[in-house]
Amino acid sequence: MDTITFTEKEDTIIIHASGDWNIGNIKEMESVFSVILNKKPSLIALDCSSLIGVDSTAIASLVKILRKSRELNIKLIFYDLSSTIQHTFELMTLNKFFTIMTKQRFMEEFGG
């Protein structure tokens, strides 16, 4: 993972990720998510437009984050996934658990 930053707008936090999420940087990702979850926004959106890849460790961490966000009644959305990551999510049937959409649809529904 090259960078993970976030912006806040009212009760929405948008995470901007780039590079790879993998075992080598999972602690940084989890640390950022911990800060964000403690803010208890109503919506967390992951802008994945610059995310290159995710390994199994990152996916396991994302599942834990999904569980925690549900406990806190926080909506978690992934948008603008690359075709490779989208395919990985589909192969692992993660698309049944995670809300995934295009950037355009996200902007239309939530105003970005």
- Contacts for 2 with CB less than 8 Å, ≥ 6 apart: 18, 19
Which of 79, 13, 20 has the alpha carbon at shortest distance from 49?
A: 79
If pLDDT is split at 50, 70 and 90, which confidence band does 1 have? very low
All structural domains of the chain: 3-107 (3.30.750.24)
pLDDT tens for residues 66-92? 999 999 999 999 999 999 999 999 999
Residue 34 has a pLDDT of: 93
- Mean pLDDT calculated for residue range 2-11: 86
pLDDT at 17 over 90: no
What are the pLDDT digits (tens) for 37-47? 999 999 999 99
